[in-house]
Amino acid sequence: MTPLSRDYLKTKWRSARNKLPTWLPARQPDPMFQVVLIETQNSCTRTCGFCKFGLERQDPGRAVISDGIIQKIARDLQRIDYAGRISPFGINEPLLEPRIFDIIALFRQACPKAAITIASNGDCLNSKLYDRLFAAGLDYLFVDAYDDKALEKVEKFRQLANVTVNDMRHPDPTHLENRAGSVPGDEKRAAERQGSNCLRPSSMVFIRPPGQVVLCCSDMYSDRVMGDLRHDSIVDIWQNQLFCHYRETLAHEGRKNLQMCQNCSYGGKAALRGWSTPAHHHKWQEDYQAIAQRAD
């Protein structure tokens, strides 16, 4: 048998290589987010030392998401029959939002299968407000009490349905995170996690005023903007090249080559839904098994 010439093999390889994309199965779209956090305005009643309100660097000014963007998010989620968690707060105090009841009612109507939850520091909470939140369609309320007075005030809500009161007067430092290096003092843990994946960008959409989707909830100042809801849909942003790049890089190289992630001490778990019906939770676990395998 005549040996095949080098040039013949090269030609064959080039021709085969040109056909490669058609042989390969198309890249599967990344699984859909399971948590949507919407920081509708950037203010709080407190200045905790492990949060942007207690740090030197501040947001440049008061910012609010417009009614139009909130309605657009609701429409985008309705279109995909979204059944994950919707939380109309970010790094802020949701009960300072005067539109909170209307916002909850809007998402309740648009996404009847979703779990709507908020976490508050309890400073503005009272019984009337509790009733209005649940009448609007809230599913679950978390209250984090940061001092004795706050804990005493919110204690009575502990007995009520669908409320969890967390005693945050002396938070365990190992449970706090450094918000991608913005909160100083956790450099050692951040250094140890340079090679680790992080599933937040595979599970969460974090929306900041005036309508930007940022990398994750550690991005307190919108340093890594993935897209802008004033121009694109939530699903288009989720599936865009930049978001996919972060997921892929985190999965295959860890954090070391990603400017914000390389300083981050967060453990890397997927964003939790916080609260859900058993059926939703089951679906969520199935989705996350797929994400975790992809990230291995």
Which of these segments, 12-20, 96-104, 215-223, 281-289, binds ligand SF4 (CB under 6 A)?
215-223
Q: Is 212 in the site for ligand SF4 (CB under 6 A)?
A: no
Query: How many helices and strands in the chain, by DSSP H and E?
Result: 9, 8
Pick between residue 110 and residue 226 the one whose CB is nearest to ligand SF4.
226
Of the candidates 103, 159, 78, 112, the residue with the CA atom closest to the CA atom of residue 277: 112
User: Least distance to ligand SF4 from the beta carbon of 102, Å?
Assistant: 22
Q: Is 266 in the site for ligand SF4 (CB under 6 A)?
A: yes
Q: Is 48 in the site for ligand SF4 (CB under 6 A)?
A: yes
Q: Is 201 in the site for ligand SF4 (CB under 6 A)?
A: yes
Q: Is 214 in the site for ligand SF4 (CB under 6 A)?
A: no
Q: Is 38 in the site for ligand SF4 (CB under 6 A)?
A: no
Q: Is 200 in the site for ligand SF4 (CB under 6 A)?
A: yes
User: Least distance to ligand SF4 from the beta carbon of 206, Å?
Assistant: 9
Q: Is 91 in the site for ligand SF4 (CB under 6 A)?
A: yes
Pick between residue 118 and residue 261 the one whose CB is nearest to ligand SF4.
261
- Answer whether 102's CB lies under 8 Å from 228's CB: no
Q: Is 261 in the site for ligand SF4 (CB under 6 A)?
A: yes
Pick between residue 82 and residue 89 the one whose CB is nearest to ligand SF4.
89
Grouping H, G, I as helix, E, B as strand and the rest as coil, residue 8 is helix
Rounded CA-CA distance 160/51 in Å is 28
Q: What is the DSSP code string of the chain?
A: -PPPPHHHHHHHHHHHHHHHHHHSPPPPPPPPPSEEEE--B---S---TTSGGGSS---SS--B--HHHHHHHHHHHHHTT--SEEES-SSS-GGG-TTHHHHHHHHHHH-TTSEEEEEE-STT--HHHHHHHHHHT--EEEEEE-SHHHHHHHGGGGGSTTEEEEE-SS--GGG---TTTTSSS-HHHHHHTTT----GGGTEEEEETTTEEES-TT-TT-SSEEEETTTS-HHHHHTSHHHHHHHHHHHHH-STTSTTGGG-----PPPP--S--HHHHHHHHHHHHHHHHHH-
User: Least distance to ligand SF4 from the beta carbon of 265, Å?
Assistant: 8
Q: Is 55 in the site for ligand SF4 (CB under 6 A)?
A: no
Among 11, 47, 109, 289, contact with ligand SF4 (rule: CB under 6 A): 47
Among 30, 46, 78, 235, contact with ligand SF4 (rule: CB under 6 A): 46
Which of these segments, 18-26, 39-47, 72-80, 230-238, binds ligand SF4 (CB under 6 A)?
39-47
Residues 104-133 that bind ligand SF4 (CB under 6 A): 121
Among 53, 130, 140, 243, contact with ligand SF4 (rule: CB under 6 A): 53
User: Least distance to ligand SF4 from the beta carbon of 230, Å?
Assistant: 23
For binding to ligand SF4 (CB under 6 A), which residues are involved?
A: 44, 46-48, 51, 53, 91-93, 121, 180, 198, 200-201, 215-216, 218, 255, 260-261, 264, 266
